[in-house]
Amino acid sequence: MANKKGSLLVSPHSDDICMSSAHIINRGFLPEPVHLVTVFSLSFHLAGSIPQPCNFMVPKIRMEEDITFCQAIGASYHALGFYDGCLSQQGLKFSQRLINKLEHRLLRLIQQLDCLAIICPYPNYNNGSQPHPHHEVVFWAVTQAIAKTTKTLLLLVDDQPYSRVSLTEKVRYQNTDYTPYVFDFDRMELNKKMAMMKIYKSQMREAYFEAVRKPAPNGNPQRYSETLWSPVRTAFGLKCNRKVI
């Protein structure tokens, strides 16, 4: 993997990577340079506190928020331009065709950037959890794309605030155990994360902030944390607070 470098953050929607792993990114724990790709960048959904604009302006607003976030973390920005209403409109039969299209576009970007690591939110399937359908589609597209590459690591992050994974649960994918690396942080670091989430004014509801403030299942109620799962025992010498075995 010596010739590869950097990290590609795969965000299903424009705010998802920020919610799931802003602390990990902001503290410089990932290989650099860092790149962000938003898959469903053509979205007309608003959930935040900004006034309702003309419909055609919504994707532009969300893209501008992405660019501001990338400037804050020192990342390059890429948008795949997929419409996030296609899955719900077409139903489950459309899912595999959509996954294959996403895989093709992601594979081209992965090959272009030649990154060491691909980071993607993990849609938890345990304990009756219901993953976000768009996140699930992106996860499978990423895994299909990585299967066609060489020497590229898939790293998974807890899908805050949706289908969060308990810190006592092991993640296993393709007969490989993924080791959890837990990044604890205090109230000051939480405030920094909240400030980054506020970049996405068009998306953030108070419920999202409340969900992110909650500790992970079976985590320390006095601490906040983000979790990254890696298929290798020591992922780039990550300076995490603790490793759960």
Kindly report the CATH number assigned to the domain that includes residue 105: 3.40.50.10320
* 152-166 mean pLDDT: 84
Q: Tell whether 12 is covered by a domain.
A: yes
Q: Tell whether 17 is covered by a domain.
A: yes
Asked whether the beta carbons of 128 and 163 are under 8 A apart, the reply is no
Q: Tell whether 190 is covered by a domain.
A: yes
Q: State the pLDDT at residue 245.
A: 34
- When divided into structural domains, the chain yields a total of 1
Asked whether the beta carbons of 8 and 119 are under 8 A apart, the reply is yes
Q: Tell whether 2 is covered by a domain.
A: no
Amino acid type, 167: L
Q: Please spell the DSSP secondary structure of 167-184, one letter per residue.
A: TTPPEEETTEEEEEEEEE
Most confident of 39-48, 176-185, 201-210: 201-210
* Segments forming the whole domain that contains residue 166: 7-243
94 confidence band (pLDDT: 50, 70, 90): low
Q: Tell whether 94 is covered by a domain.
A: yes
Q: State the pLDDT at residue 164.
A: 74
Query: Beta partners for 230?
Result: 179
pLDDT at 87 over 80: no
Q: Tell whether 1 is covered by a domain.
A: no
Asked whether the beta carbons of 160 and 226 are under 8 A apart, the reply is yes
pLDDT at 235 over 60: no
